[in-house]
Amino acid sequence: MTDARGERRAWRVVAFYAAGAALVGIAYGLILTDGLLFGGLRGAVIGALIGGTTALFEGRIARGAARRWFARQRFTVTLLARTLVYFVIVLGALLFGLFGFPGPQPTRAEFLAGLERDILFSLAVALAFNFLNAMRELVGADVMVSFFTGRYHKPVSEERVFLFIDLTGSTELTRRLGDAVYHRLLNRFYQDVGRAVLAAGGQIHRYVGDEMMVSWPIERGLKDAACLTALLEADRALAAAAPAYRADFGVAPSFRAGLHAGRVVTGELGYERKEIGFVGDAVNLAARVEQAARALERPYLATAALIDRLTPPEGLALERLGPVPLRGVAEPVELVALAPAEKRGAGAV
């Protein structure tokens, strides 16, 4: 289910950027040439090719080994490398638009003059897109959109699902591996888990030491049990990557997690460095549920209040634990233990 959702999301992104670039191409073609057919239409085709292909590169091609290479580089190196790829895409789209599109063909002088102008314009647009994409990777797509639209400039009361993920045994791992190697392991762990979370529509808000904070708007988190699917797929992603972790670090990481949903006040926080922050008992309770996983020796816990609002995905076993006292919470909270069915076998309720 997560793979299908991620696939649909990837193609929606490609279509969105292709359509947006086509509009820019139409405007550019109408301004610099006469006529809608040979100006605007050609500009639309060139723009759609550039926008769609660059989005395809970012969303589908720049994965696996290429994505790992980009992740190891400095911000400026990544920016320049991607810009070079964009240059090749832009040049190919322009040549197709000039010679592969029906209509009057330019003379040699017109071709050279137009090509230089078109390349500079297209590269400027592609560089801006590249910069925005790099910023998206730094702060997250949803957070970037929220800042641009001003959605949370004034605090908003809303319901959200919260997921706290904590790397198991981080203190022992640091002692065993050393700070530098542990940092590499933690970064890879965040990337592997983060891909599963993002594929399920989650928003990664914060990394604090060995802990990741994720949330969903309530409708998105409950739909198709996306918040539980993210947990299940993150577990499977780490299991699949276990041999690679053991080869590189001598250990395969695991994690604890806690989930809860409730109403919070969401808004911008900070001065020079801003973030989208949440204030409310729902955040604190989700964090306490994650902390309870260690004491109860259960890897993943959720509040019954959340579980009762959705239909758990196939492959996830549930065990109701009843009311459990939590540190810092006045009344015991009904908790549910979660685990991939293949790890639990019988015993799920």
Residues of the chain with pLDDT under 70: 1-10, 32-39, 59-68, 70-73, 75, 98-114, 126, 130, 133-150, 272, 342-349
CATH 3.30.70.1230 is right for the domain spanning 142-344: yes
Token pair in block for residue 164: 């706290």
Phi, psi (degrees; rounded to nearest 5) at 203: -115, 120
Helix or strand or coil: residue 220? helix
Name the 3-class secondary structure at 224.
helix
Three-state DSSP string of 32-97: HCCCHHHHHHHHHHHHHHHHHHHHHHHHHHCCHHHHHHHHHCCHHHHHHHHHHHHHHHHHHHHHHH
Spatial distance between the Cα atoms of 241 and 234, rounded to a whole number of angstroms: 11
Beta-bridge partner residues of 338: 300, 318
pLDDT on residue 213: 94
Bridge partner residues of 279 (DSSP): 265
Q: In the chain, what are the domain boundaries?
A: 2-139, 142-344
CA distances from 223 to 36, 92, 156, 200, 238 (A): 44, 41, 22, 10, 24
Closest C-alpha among 220, 233, 221, 225 to residue 193:
233
The partner residues of 99 in beta bridges, in order of sequence, read none
Helices (H), 140-267: 141-149, 170-177, 179-199, 218-222, 226-249
Task: Kindly report the pTM of this predicted structure.
Answer: 0.71
